[in-house]
Amino acid sequence: MSPLSRLHPVSALCLLLAATVSWAEPPEDAADEAEPGAIVVDFRDGTTEAEFDAWEADWGVDVEFNSVEGQRTGITLARGVEDVEGALERIRRHPAVEAAEPLALFTVPEPAEASALAGPAPRASGKGFIPNDPDFGRQWNLALIDMPAAWERSRGKGVVVAVLDTGIAYEDRGDFKQVPDLKSARFVEGYDFVNDDAHANDDHGHGTHVAGTIAQATNNGEGVAGVAFEASLMPVKVLNHFGAGNAADIAEAIRFAADHGAQVINMSLGGGMRSEVMARAVAYAREKGTVVVAAAGNRGVGRVEYPAAYDGAVAVAAVGPDGARAPYSSYGKELDIAAPGGNKKLGGEAGGILQNTIDPRDPSRSIYASYQGTSMATPHVAAVAALLFAEGARGPEEVERALFEGATPVNGQAWSSEYGHGLLHADRTLAAMKGQWSVDWNPLVWAAVLLAAVLLTIGRRERPGYLQVLVRPLFLVPLLVATVGLFFVRWVGTHEVLETASLPLPDLERIIFGRGRPASPFVYSALIPVVASFVAIGLKGLRPVVGGLAIGFAGLLAYAAWSGAPAIAWMPFRMLAVPWLVFNVLVCLFVARALLRVERP
């Protein structure tokens, strides 16, 4: 099957033009377009071909399963549809349809021409494990995230990372040859959703380069190193030899990877058009316990592309050798983290990310190429996620918290739209994961100090005794819930519900809805205690409960202001967030003082 046989001719022409554009400057139109006259329909799982064949006459379209996975995923395609919007309106009314939309296209820009790196390789430095790969010293990107130290903790053994891309040069088959530096790498069975067969071979070069950063054979005396070199790679081809694919293939590939044991999915691809079918696939993978990592985009604008912008995906920006955001790297409110992606304006080819891949003009020829892009940054994060799973991480929430807590803040900011939670730091991330089950008692200490201050400001006749306050469960339990959470439920088991319940109350909304994104200023405020206080005015029995809640919030907010974390959404930290937190601490203390006063005759 021709790589363009499943694309409309107009779309194919746009994608051919895209191949001439530099890596850092993808075309505006190619990434945003939908295939003319094509729609994707995602049926409820279990819907049979016989069932939707019976509905086609009313819809006026002919839908077919997108691939052999269709019978399980329910994802179908229709092409040659004259009235796309009219057909979608009819199809969406059916109760068996979960999503229906125009068929969105996704691309990667063509990589820059490979060129030789001049001069001797610089000597690797730093503490930790130093592999014997001769060009490891050229991998400034691995030094930047402190891989030698991280390798002393984890190398990704036993973890499967799915690479949804142009394929991987992982086998000798016909004209396809395995690249030398992947010969001792580990692979599990994947799939080619472009050509619908079991051989996800790379005919472009992008996917092999990405896979190398994740798990290139390392300490083998050849070439370069990979981040999680003891992990296994799952090659999943969703992009053709022009670096182009569609939402139906990508959505099925996401589900395929999650269902076949991938703990991490890497998607170094993107587009500007939102696909509900893909969004549902990302949510499905996350529910299965898979971490989905995606590139923020290479347009250098303040808007994160899809699939990185979906809820449930980790969005990655790119930095150069200087640790600053690369000019091409997109950014925005959905951004989660930054990682080395290269900047050839700093040092030429040496400023890119070096990996073994294929010559795009000849898939049988192996080359070492220096590429740059958020495509190159993304596999660094995916690979560190694999290191976390190898060390015992139990799901996306735990992995993401470690990634964000371990990241190095940029310009002293806990979060920013350009760097997310900061620059990826592998060793600190692994250390953060190790410490996740310990309790941070600092908010509780702040709460105790603030409680003492409140009680001292209450007159003697109305002041409750210190022990009288502290030993009352109706006061102490809400104080604990707001500051340190129900930490003891972690001893019961490892279920995600128990893990979530163990968090401080203000952090629940970020974990459940925000995936570690900046905290909502409405939750990191006195709003909840204030609203609760209105109820407590009429119900005296609730006053100690709300008083404890108010003191707990005051302690957590005070600690947040002092420590500089978490970042507060929409607020520059020093200019607005700290005053906001301090003001709300004072409001909480006012509420607590009013509710803790004892009415004596």
Beta carbons of 545 and 518 less than 8 angstroms apart: no
Beta carbons of 105 and 271 less than 8 angstroms apart: yes
Amino acid making up residue 55: W
DSSP structure string for 6-30: TS-HHHHHHHHHHTTS-TTS--HHH
Beta-carbon-side half-sphere exposure of residue 474 (alpha carbons within 13 Å): 12
**Which helix H or strand E contains 531, and what residues bound it?**
helix 527-538
The pairing of beta strand 232-237 with beta strand 264-267: unpaired
Q: State whether residue 433 is helix, strand or coil.
A: helix
Amino acid making up residue 506: P
Beta carbons of 305 and 271 less than 8 angstroms apart: yes
Report the length, in residues, of the chain: 601
Rounded alpha-carbon distances, angstroms, from residue 557 to 478, 505, 578, 592: 15, 12, 9, 14
User: Which active-site residues does the annotation give?
Assistant: 165, 206, 375
Beta carbons of 519 and 568 less than 8 angstroms apart: yes
Rounded alpha-carbon distances, angstroms, from residue 476 to 178, 326, 468, 550: 63, 49, 11, 11
Q: What does the alpha-carbon distance between residue 164 and residue 293 come to, in Å, rounded to a whole number?
A: 10
Beta carbons of 319 and 340 less than 8 angstroms apart: yes
Q: What does the alpha-carbon distance between residue 255 and residue 479 come to, in Å, rounded to a whole number?
A: 42
Q: Which two tokens stand for residue 591?
A: 């509420």
Q: What does the alpha-carbon distance between residue 472 and residue 573 come to, in Å, rounded to a whole number?
A: 36
